[in-house]
Amino acid sequence: MPPHLDEYFVAAEVAAEQMDALWAQGWRHFGVYFFRYSHLRNHTVLPLRVRLAHHTLSQSQRRVWKKNQDLVFRLQPAFVNSEVEALFERHKTRFTHSIPERIYNFVSRRPARIPCRCHSLTLHHQGRLVGISYLDEGAQATSSVYQCFDPACARRSLGILMILRCIQLSLEWGKQFYYPGYAYLEPSEYDYKKRLGALEYYDWEGNWRPYSTDLLNT
């Protein structure tokens, strides 16, 4: 179970329309544990979402696409295998604090313990797995559960690349919103999510508001 929760519940199966409603209220989940919190480690939590109809690629995002044209994406039902476990172990060496313990903290070991439709978006370089993103699908929205990549490919900006592919897939599926997960109001390693464009944040009073870089000063 994720630590320091304001609110949480356990659900083995959740309908697509209910997932949409939960995401819209700031909820996320790891496996069957659903949770939301407004503060963590003296940080103010910002649930984020992209309003897909208004999203356009920035110049820097176009450069990320261009420099990774040699990589191959594959989409399949959510899974974890030994190759993914090894990738996760490499990925977590990037962290100097709050180091994640294992991939199963975020994605269930058994598909039957995944409460909604979830995809594995894998990324390959010359046949080798270099990234994976777990993408939930609701009725009108999608949400990234977790993603990791090989630190040896850090210059490729694979975290951004996988998010951009998730946005692209969400548009192809006719969704209205894409939830990239939480960031913090204060500066953190998650600030790259704040640069996605067409971005909104949840104000913990039931409202989604346009995100602005001036938010910290309000």
The CATH number given to whatever domain includes residue 179 is 3.40.630.30
Does residue 1 lie within any of the structural domains?
Answer: no
Does residue 136 lie within any of the structural domains?
Answer: yes
Does residue 139 lie within any of the structural domains?
Answer: yes
Tally of structural domains, the chain: 1
Indicate the range of 3-7, 25-29, 84-88, 142-146 predicted with least confidence: 3-7
Expressed as residue numbers, the domain containing 175 is 7-217
Q: Quick one: pLDDT at residue 216?
A: 57
Beta-bridged to residue 84, according to DSSP, are none
In percent, the amount of the chain with pLDDT more than 90 equals 77
Does residue 127 lie within any of the structural domains?
Answer: yes
Closest listed residue to residue 161, CA positions, set 104, 122, 194, 119:
122
Does residue 112 lie within any of the structural domains?
Answer: yes
Closest listed residue to residue 59, CA positions, set 202, 160, 155:
160
| Gap between the Cα atoms of 174 and 153, Å rounded | 31
Does residue 2 lie within any of the structural domains?
Answer: no
The owner of tokens 């949840």 is 202
| Gap between the Cα atoms of 180 and 11, Å rounded | 21
pLDDT digits (tens, 9 = 90+) for 105-120: 899 877 668 899 999 9
| Gap between the Cα atoms of 180 and 137, Å rounded | 12
Does residue 118 lie within any of the structural domains?
Answer: yes
Q: Is the pLDDT of residue 1 over 50?
A: no
Compute the average pLDDT of residues 7-18.
94
Q: Is the pLDDT of residue 71 over 50?
A: yes
Beta-bridged to residue 177, according to DSSP, are 51, 141
| Gap between the Cα atoms of 211 and 207, Å rounded | 12
In three-state secondary structure terms, 52 is helix
Q: Are 132 and 81 in contact (CB under 8 A)?
A: no
Does residue 208 lie within any of the structural domains?
Answer: yes
Predicted TM-score (pTM) of the model is: 0.92
Q: Is the pLDDT of residue 2 over 90?
A: no
| Gap between the Cα atoms of 203 and 206, Å rounded | 7
Rounded to 5°, the CA angle 159-106-192 comes to 25
In three-state secondary structure terms, 40 is strand
Q: Quick one: pLDDT at residue 6?
A: 67
The residue among 191 and 122 whose pLDDT is bigger is: 122
